[in-house]
């Protein structure tokens, strides 16, 4: 019996070359590897020469980039031929080591180019290769009702030619939200200069014509009897590629809200249905915060101004999976984050960038000190994100979660309540407008100015 057992064991080892993994087909190994985190894939590569060669495959790393960054970013990089400058594996490493941005000024008061007027609390979106700007507040507290479009194409650093499309529809407002779903814009809420809050929902569509140029049409979306209450200064994003989620804001009589709603759209974008998400615990009421989708139905809420007018720095994670919504707070101490004392802010921007991380920029603190810094928030650095609550005490872990980037090139003014969006690749961030400090009394409301500057923020990769 012993001899039989030994013979069978030797036969198994000979057949499999010393490891059962050796005989697994390459496409099956690819599938297995794509279910592993990058650190585990790199450890797998150390097992033998064959596995090292396999894990160096450009095809594998393109799939990993697609998995971790999303197909939209990868396809945009391939279309621009940017990835041909280096293999996907090296590109992945460069993105994960991002430590700086380079700023370019794309607006100039000189010349014959026409630009949107200075404003804040407007909307700015990238859709159909165009920047689309709508509304906002301007000098004297007046609302704006104009829509502007600028075609980007592949030349991101050039001065843009803005085109005023229309005005009056939707009605003038600021503090509204506007997200991109497919090739459509979906706009909700806002406040006009009479203090009236809105809860209407609009759909916009950009089109390019050989004779007419760029056009944009808005129409009021038909929704059912249930809808969020009137509000402005709320946060919103697109989830699951087809839905809009909003949170909080300032409602009637100036009351700050803490409710969460989801809008589901019909296939033809003619009809929509709102429903409220109720989950406990959940973020406290606030305004001027951000809500950003990082993947699928997973979103991240950050900062804002709370009920006591205090400026917040808390981070919440929301996952609406199979109809089971759950908020998870990521608890951390500011003193454990290098430079973290400057993190509390309201009126900032938080945009998903290449690499699947959030780029947080600008905003103001409780003393109305405005900022021009850039931070990367990496939620993937947090283990056991689905647990409640998640407390981070490790300085090393927090240093991975929060990283302040160096900013080179043009130095933008410190600003708050600006708007930002990225191109399809996530490598280029466009920032427009906001409130900036006045010359005489920077921290006093009377010294406020509205800005009309367009800045391109480029992720610096060591190619």
Encode pLDDT of 252-294 as tens digits: 999 999 999 999 999 999 999 999 999 999 999 999 999 999 9
Instruction: Give the range among 203-212, 262-271, 342-351 with minimum mean pLDDT.
Output: 203-212
Residues 383 and 392 sit within 8 Å (Cβ to Cβ): no
Task: Print burial letters for 424-433: b (CB count within 10 Å at least 16), e (below 16).
Answer: bbbbbbbbbb
Per-residue model confidence (pLDDT) at position 19: 61
Which CA distances in Å does 370 have to 21, 81, 140, 339, 351?
A: 56, 38, 20, 16, 18
- Could you give the CA distance from residue 373 to residue 376 in angstroms, rounded to a whole number? 10
Per-residue model confidence (pLDDT) at position 1: 42
Mean pLDDT for all residues in the chain: 87
pLDDT in tens, 9-48: 443 344 444 566 667 777 788 888 888 888 888 888 887 7
Count other Cβ atoms within 10 Å, centred on residue 89: 19
- Residue 111's φ and ψ, nearest 5 degrees, are 90, -175
Residues 345 and 311 sit within 8 Å (Cβ to Cβ): yes
pLDDT in tens, 48-83: 777 888 888 899 999 999 999 999 999 998 888 665
- Could you give the CA distance from residue 356 to residue 283 in angstroms, rounded to a whole number? 23
Count other Cβ atoms within 10 Å, centred on residue 186: 24
Per-residue model confidence (pLDDT) at position 445: 53
Per-residue model confidence (pLDDT) at position 42: 87
Select the more confidently predicted residue: 166 or 18: 166
- Could you give the CA distance from residue 377 to residue 359 in angstroms, rounded to a whole number? 7
Its sign, for the CA torsion 448, 454, 460, 461, is positive
Q: Model pTM?
A: 0.89
Structure token pair of residue 126: 């990238």
Select the more confidently predicted residue: 283 or 441: 283
Q: State percent of the chain over pLDDT 90.
A: 60
What secondary structure letter does DSSP report for 381? Answer: G
- Residue 237's φ and ψ, nearest 5 degrees, are -160, 170
């Amino acid at each position: 019996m012993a001899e039989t057992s030994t013979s069978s064991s030797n036969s198994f080892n000979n057949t499999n070359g010393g490891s059962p993994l050796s005989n697994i087909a390459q496409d099956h190994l690819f599938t297995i590897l794509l279910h592993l985190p990058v650190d585990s894939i790199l450890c797998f590569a150390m097992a033998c020469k064959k596995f090292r060669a396999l894990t160096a495959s450009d095809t594998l790393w393109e799939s990993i980039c697609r998995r971790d960054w999303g197909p939209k970013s990868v396809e945009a990089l391939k279309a621009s031929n940017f990835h041909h400058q280096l293999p996907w594996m090296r590109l992945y490493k460069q993105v994960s080591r991002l430590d700086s941005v380079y700023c370019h000024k794309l607006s100039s008061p000189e010349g014959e180019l026409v630009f949107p007027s200075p404003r804040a609390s407007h909307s700015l979106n990238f859709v159909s290769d165009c920047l689309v700007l709508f509304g906002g507040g301007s000098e004297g507290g007046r609302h704006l009702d104009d829509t502007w479009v600028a075609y980007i194409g592949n030349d991101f650093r050039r001065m843009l030619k803005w085109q005023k499309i229309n005005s009056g529809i939707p009605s003038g407002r600021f503090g509204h939200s506007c997200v991109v779903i497919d090739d459509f814009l979906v706009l909700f809420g806002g406040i006009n200069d009479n203090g009236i809050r809105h809860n209407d929902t609009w759909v916009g569509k950009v089109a390019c014509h050989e004779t007419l140029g760029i056009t944009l049409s808005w129409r009021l979306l038909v929704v059912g009897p249930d809808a969020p209450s009137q509000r402005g200064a709320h946060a919103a994003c697109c989830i699951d590629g087809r839905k809009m989620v909003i949170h909080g804001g300032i409602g009637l009589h100036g009351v700050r809200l803490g409710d969460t709603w989801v809008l589901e759209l019909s296939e033809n974008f003619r009809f929509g249905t709102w429903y409220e998400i109720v989950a406990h615990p959940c973020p406290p009421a606030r305004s001027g915060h951000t809500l950003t989708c990082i993947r699928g139905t997973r979103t991240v809420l950050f900062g804002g101004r709370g009920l006591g007018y205090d400026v917040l720095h808390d981070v919440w994670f929301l996952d609406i999976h199979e109809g089971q919504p759950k908020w998870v707070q990521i608890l951390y101490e500011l003193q454990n984050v290098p430079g973290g004392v400057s993190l509390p802010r309201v009126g900032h921007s938080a945009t998903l960038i290449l690499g699947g991380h959030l780029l947080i920029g600008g905003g103001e603190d409780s003393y109305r000190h405005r900022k021009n810094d850039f931070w990367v928030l990496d939620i993937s650095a947090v283990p056991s994100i689905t647990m409640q609550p998640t407390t981070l005490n490790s300085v090393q872990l927090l240093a991975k979660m929060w990283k302040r980037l160096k900013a080179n090139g043009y130095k933008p003014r410190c600003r708050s309540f600006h708007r930002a969006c990225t191109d399809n690749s996530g490598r280029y961030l466009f920032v427009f407008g906001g409130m900036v400090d006045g010359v005489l009394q920077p921290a006093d409301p009377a010294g406020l100015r509205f800005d009309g500057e367009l800045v391109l923020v480029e992720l610096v990769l060591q190619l």
